[in-house]
Amino acid sequence: MSVYSVSSRFATALLQSASEKNISGAVSADVELISQTITASKELRNLLASPVLKESKKAEIIEEIFKSKVSADSLNFLKFVIRKNRENLLHEILKRFIELWNSKNNILSAKITSAYKLEESEKKHIAEVLEKYTGKKIQSVFNIDQKIIGGFVLKIGDTVIDGSVANQLLVLKKKLLEENLIVN
């Protein structure tokens, strides 16, 4: 089975059982936290991927890390994944969970890149416009990339709304090449 279908299956199961127990909000916050921890720590990623360590040892370490930070149900889920020898897919599973959670709650995550740091009011304005445009709640992540020169690049799902100066220059270049501009 592909990575995608395995992780989907685990994520769906987690979401369903959490919904049944009415703790999905808490679980999703936990998942967010665990996912961020995995992204941040290379050591943790290595640990999860390592085929050398025994599963009991892995479970112990995971419990040690997250015991006081997440709910018992979330911790149980982590142990369950380890017992099923799918800990190498844990990060994928958590990502899928967040996707499912977002689509269930009508949330879209948007990535907004700008050349310079945006003012809070600007950020708020962008989020408002996007919410109006998509009809969904927007969870935005902001980052800065000087390479786009000016303007901004917005990424929602697979769709990119590109208003950067860099892209405009690229389009201009293509257009000039296409028209076979010959100055004689």
* Binding site residues, other proteins, CB under 8 A: 2-5, 155, 157-163, 167-168, 171-172, 175-176, 179-181, 183-184
Q: Say if strands 137-144 and 107-114 run parallel, antiparallel, or are unpaired.
A: parallel
Q: How far is the CB of 158 from other proteins (least distance, A)?
A: 5
Please, which residue, 4 or 84, has the CB nearer to other proteins? 4
161 sits in which H/E element: strand 159-162
Q: At what angle do helices 55-66 and 24-40 cross, to 10 degrees?
A: 110
Radius of gyration of the chain (CA): 21
Q: How far is the CB of 115 from other proteins (least distance, A)?
A: 15
Please, which residue, 75 or 90, has the CB nearer to other proteins? 90
Please, which residue, 76 or 143, has the CB nearer to other proteins? 143
Q: How far is the CB of 175 from other proteins (least distance, A)?
A: 6
Q: Please answer whether residues 114 and 122 qualify as being in contact, where contact means their C-beta atoms are separated by less than 8 angstroms.
A: no
Distance, CA of 77 to CA of 71 (rounded, Å): 10
Please, which residue, 78 or 93, has the CB nearer to other proteins? 93
